[in-house]
Structures are given as structure tokens and as C-alpha cells.
């Protein structure tokens, strides 16, 4: 395979992320144990503490420990996500549901959040994981846009190699992406802060969920600015062999 071909680059990226997942799984287990101990002791001390200042200090310690615990949960989801339990559903309805969930946050950011879809788009996916993945893409766009920004979710059905696919695009007119950003955007420890897309495991989780369903996720930064995330997801169960 040509080392410069898109197929080789996709396989190289997938291998790199698989390696990061194994590292994340081991690190997650090592960190989770002391965090659980801290949380346990904080709860015991809070049960007996009556001084308001000390209770506040303990609550702060506990809150930060819970924050670490949640981050470890994201690490573990990225490293070893639960096996999906896919069912047939309708992608446009899921997009509407996710858009409604983020409507208040979008309004507070002065952003318009719209849906561009003409008709039903069947998709074969785990209901919970699908919504996590779509929500992560919307959240990523919200982090990248300024006042009067625009985020659009579009969905359509496609036929490729005699197999039906559900294609989702999440596009925004926020800060664009450099070539380096596009190369590392799905890495769980990469900071896209200079691109205005923050830290976190949102895009990494989306990548793991999509690929775990046999789908593909790519990103482009058009010359006009912003970013377009494209997800191709199976629309039906794999054919029996």
C-alpha cells in the first residue's frame, strides 16, 4: 500500500489511536484506585464535620476528585467502550433531539443551531452511543464559534458498494483547522485550544463510537473557514455470511 495514499493514512491513524487506547486503559486503572480512596475518605469526614469552612474545603476536595473520576470514565470509554447494541432508528429524529438538548447552550453563545434534512434517514446504531457521538460533535462546534455563529446538522442516505449508509455532517463557521489540527484532532490528549476547540475526550469518544459501529469519521476545514465533520454510519445490519 502506498504510504501516501488516503487508505494508508487512515490505517496509520487508526493504529495510532488503538495504541493510545491501550495506554489510556492502563493509566485509567492506575489512577482510578487512589481517586476512589480520596472520595471515600472525603465522604467519611463530611459525615462527621460540622465546621462550615472545613465542610466547604472537603466539598471542594471531593468535587475535584469526582472531576478526576469523570475524566477517568471518559478515558475508559475511549479505551474500551462497551459493545454497542445497535437497533434500527431514524437519524434525522436523533439530530433534532440532540439539537434540542443543546438549544439553550447555543442561544447563550449567540449561535444558530439548525438541521438540514429532507426525509427519513435510517441508521443502525446503539441509541445511547449514537446520541453521545452526535452530541460530542455539536459540543465541539459550540466551543469553536463566536457570536452569530452557525452550526448545521445535515443527514442523508447514501448507497456505496451495494451497502446503505447514513451520512451525518456537522458543519460550523467557527475557527478553522490547520493541517496539524486535522491530523491530531481525534487524539485524546491533543489540545486544539489554538484552534478554539478546547481539551477533552469528546471527539475521541465520537471516533471510538463511530469506528466501533463500522463507520468512518473525517473532518475538513473549507477555504471559507470553519469545519465540517462527516460521519458515514451503517444504515442496516451487516449482511449474513
What is the pLDDT at residue 239? Answer: 74
Average pLDDT over residues 166-171: 95
120, 154 in Cβ contact below 8 A?
no
172 or 23: which leads in pLDDT = 172
pLDDT: which is higher, 219 or 16 = 219
Q: What is the pLDDT of residue 16?
A: 66
pLDDT band at 71 (very low <50, low <70, confident <90, very high): confident
> Taking residues 104-131, what's their average pLDDT?
91
Q: What is the pLDDT of residue 188?
A: 63
pLDDT for 124 equals 96
pLDDT of residue 60 exceeding 80, the answer is yes
Over range 121-129, report the average pLDDT: 95
Choose between 134 and 179: higher pLDDT.
134
What pLDDT score does 196 carry?
A: 47
pLDDT of residue 99: 94
pTM for this prediction: 0.72
* pLDDT, tens only, 24-52: 667 777 888 888 899 999 999 999 999 99
Q: What is the pLDDT of residue 10?
A: 64
H helices present in the chain, as ranges: 6-48, 52-79, 91-101, 103-108, 127-144, 179-184, 202-212
**In the sheet that 111-116 helps form, which strands lie side by side, from edge to edge?**
111-116, 149-160, 163-172, 227-234, 216-220
Residue with cell 441508521: 123
Neighbours of 205 (CB within 10 A): 22
Average pLDDT across the chain, whole number: 83
Cell of 187: 487524539
Task: State the average pLDDT over residues 183-192.
Answer: 65
pLDDT of residue 17: 62
Q: How far apart are CA 107 and CA 234, in angstroms?
A: 32
Amino acid at each position: 500500500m502506498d504510504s501516501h495514499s488516503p487508505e494508508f493514512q487512515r490505517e496509520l491513524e487508526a493504529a495510532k489511536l488503538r495504541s493510545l487506547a491501550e495506554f489510556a486503559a492502563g493509566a485509567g486503572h492506575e489512577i482510578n484506585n487512589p481517586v476512589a480512596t480520596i472520595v471515600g475518605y472525603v465522604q467519611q469526614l463530611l459525615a462527621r464535620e460540622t465546621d462550615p469552612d472545613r465542610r466547604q474545603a472537603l466539598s471542594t476536595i471531593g468535587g475535584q476528585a469526582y472531576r478526576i473520576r469523570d475524566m477517568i470514565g471518559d478515558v475508559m470509554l475511549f479505551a474500551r467502550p462497551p459493545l454497542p447494541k445497535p437497533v434500527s432508528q431514524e437519524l434525522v429524529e436523533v439530530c433534532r433531539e440532540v439539537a434540542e438538548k443543546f438549544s439553550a447552550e447555543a442561544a447563550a453563545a449567540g449561535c444558530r443551531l439548525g438541521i438540514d434534512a429532507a426525509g427519513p434517514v435510517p441508521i443502525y446504531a446503539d441509541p445511547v452511543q449514537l446520541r453521545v457521538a452526535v452530541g460530542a460533535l455539536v459540543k465541539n462546534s459550540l466551543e469553536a464559534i463566536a457570536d452569530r455563529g452557525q452550526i448545521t446538522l445535515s443527514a442523508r442516505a447514501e448507497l456505496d458498494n451495494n451497502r446503505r449508509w447514513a451520512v451525518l455532517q456537522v458543519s460550523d463557521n467557527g475557527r478553522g483547522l490547520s493541517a496539524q489540527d486535522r491530523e491530531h484532532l481525534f487524539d485524546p490528549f491533543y489540545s486544539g485550544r489554538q484552534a478554539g476547540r478546547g481539551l477533552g475526550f469528546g471527539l475521541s469518544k465520537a471516533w471510538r463510537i463511530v469506528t466501533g459501529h463500522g463507520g468512518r469519521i473525517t473532518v475538513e476545514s473549507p477555504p471559507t473557514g470553519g469545519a465540517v465533520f462527516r460521519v458515514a454510519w451503517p444504515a442496516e445490519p451487516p449482511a449474513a455470511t
